[in-house]
Amino acid sequence: MTATATGAPGPGDGFPAEVPLLRVSDLQVELITEAGVVRAVDGVSFEIRAGETVTIIGESGSGKSTTAMGLLRLLPDDLAVLSGHALVQGRDTVADPRAAAEVRGRAVSLIPQDPMTALSPVHTIGRQLLETVRLRRGDLDRSAARDRAVSLLTQVRIADPEQQLRRYPHQLSGGMLQRVLIAMALACEPALLIADEPTSALDVTVQAGILDLLLELQEQTGAGILMITHDLGVARLVSDRIHVMRGGRFVESGEAEQIVGDPAEEYTRALLRSVPALGPWDGAGTAAATAPEGDR
């Protein structure tokens, strides 16, 4: 199960490799709304070790983002009531809000689903990215930090990175913004990366590049990744384990191969069935047809 994880160098700070980077047990998140209390996350448990990628898939509104935001305590206190445990490198963010504040942007970084939760509309990309770089690398002077920012944008395949640094968020396309967020998360050099739909706005060629980059980072640093995606192709490609979420709970959990190849739950099978088929093509028969759907 921990499969290929071993052998990767431990993530920073001499943290003992046998303790999971993240151990979530019976996490509940209740949202207090005008209409009453909504239990958006209803007792989920999972763990992620160094070098592992664990993915949450599930239908829209099933509680995936709330799980991620909740365990990092990014939901306002007057909105969300948390219970259970979420141990990040052994520190419980549910029990101790200070622990959450301390791990965010250091041990853990988040690529949020909504770009504007991480970016300010009134500052340039450059200013925001440089700030993040220097938070981690206080030793870098201005020009070295700038070089690092440019290299991060290049790594996420953004063309003309120097130009983009001078732009404001609204001057970038949706997919470019998404990649700026990924660059910011990588700038933190986290031990644990939480990525909420990180490639949903990207075409497959760019997406493949980004996934490759994340896996490379993982190989080099032994980072753990919590991936949230609705793309089953992505899930199968990168995950060691997959949890299938519905109505705030995990309805099925297992190794990626088993979940995608041989799902036990009807709900998971339905998710797989609805993947639109690509149809035949002449490209050396590679990505060739899934079962022809004959829908149209």
Ligand X SMILES: Nc1ncnc2c1ncn2[C@@H]1O[C@H](COP(=O)(O)OP(=O)(O)OP(=O)(O)O)[C@@H](O)[C@H]1O
Binding to ligand X by residue 40, rule CB under 6 A?
yes
Residue labelled with tokens 């509104």:
61
**According to CB under 5 A, which residues from 144 to 173 bind Mg ion?**
173
Question: Considering CB distances under 5 to 8 angstroms, the limit depending on partner class, which of Mg ion, ligand X, another protein, none binds residue 9?
Answer: none
- Convert 91-148 into a string of H (helix), E (strand) and C (coil): EECCCCHHHHHHHECCCEEEECCCHHHCCCCCCCHHHHHHHHHHHHCCCCCHHHHHHH
Binding to ligand X by residue 33, rule CB under 6 A?
yes
Nearest to 52 by CA among 86, 3, 110: 3
Integer-rounded Cα Rg, in Å, for the chain is 19
Q: Of 12, 15, 28, 31, which one interacts with ligand X (CB under 6 A)? A: 31
Stretch binding ligand X (CB under 6 A), from 32-40, 44-52, 130-138, 141-149: 32-40
Closer to Mg ion by CB, 174 or 280: give it.
174
Q: Of 17, 38, 140, 251, which one interacts with ligand X (CB under 6 A)? A: 38
* CB count in 10 Å sphere of residue 212: 12
Binding to another protein by residue 1, rule CB under 8 A?
no
Q: How far apart are CA 209 and CA 204, in angstroms?
A: 9
Nearest to 246 by CA among 31, 63, 107: 63
Question: Considering CB distances under 5 to 8 angstroms, the limit depending on partner class, which of Mg ion, another protein, ligand X, none binds residue 109?
Answer: none
**According to CB under 6 A, which residues from 166 to 225 bind ligand X?**
170-176, 201
Give bridge partners of residue 191 from the DSSP assignment: none
CB of 13 to ligand X, least distance (A): 31
Q: In what order do the strands lie in the sheet with 249-255?
A: 108-111, 192-196, 224-228, 53-58, 241-246, 249-255
**According to CB under 8 A, which residues from 158 to 187 bind another protein?**
159, 163, 166-167, 171-176, 179
Q: Of 7, 60, 122, 292, which one interacts with another protein (CB under 8 A)? A: 60
Binding to ligand X by residue 286, rule CB under 6 A?
no
Binding to another protein by residue 224, rule CB under 8 A?
no
Q: Of 234, 243, 248, 250, which one interacts with another protein (CB under 8 A)? A: 234
Residue 109-138 contact track with another protein, rule CB under 8 A, x = bound: ----xxxx----------------------
Strands 192-196 and 224-228 turn out to be parallel
Residue 217-246 contact track with Mg ion, rule CB under 5 A, x = bound: ------------------------------
| Amino acid letter, 290 | T
Angle between helical axes of 174-187 and 125-136 (0-180°, round to 10): 20
Binding to Mg ion by residue 65, rule CB under 5 A?
yes
- Convert 199-263 into a string of H (helix), E (strand) and C (coil): CCCCCHHHHHHHHHHHHHHHHHHCCEEEEECCCHHHHHHHCCEEEEEECCEEEEEEEHHHHHHCC
Closer to another protein by CB, 141 or 291: give it.
291
Cβ atoms of residues 55 and 238 within 8 Å: yes
**According to CB under 6 A, which residues from 52 to 81 bind ligand X?**
58, 60-66, 79
Which positions touch Mg ion (CB under 5 A)?
A: 65, 113, 173-174
Which positions touch ligand X (CB under 6 A)?
A: 31, 33, 38, 40, 58, 60-66, 79, 113, 170-176, 201, 230
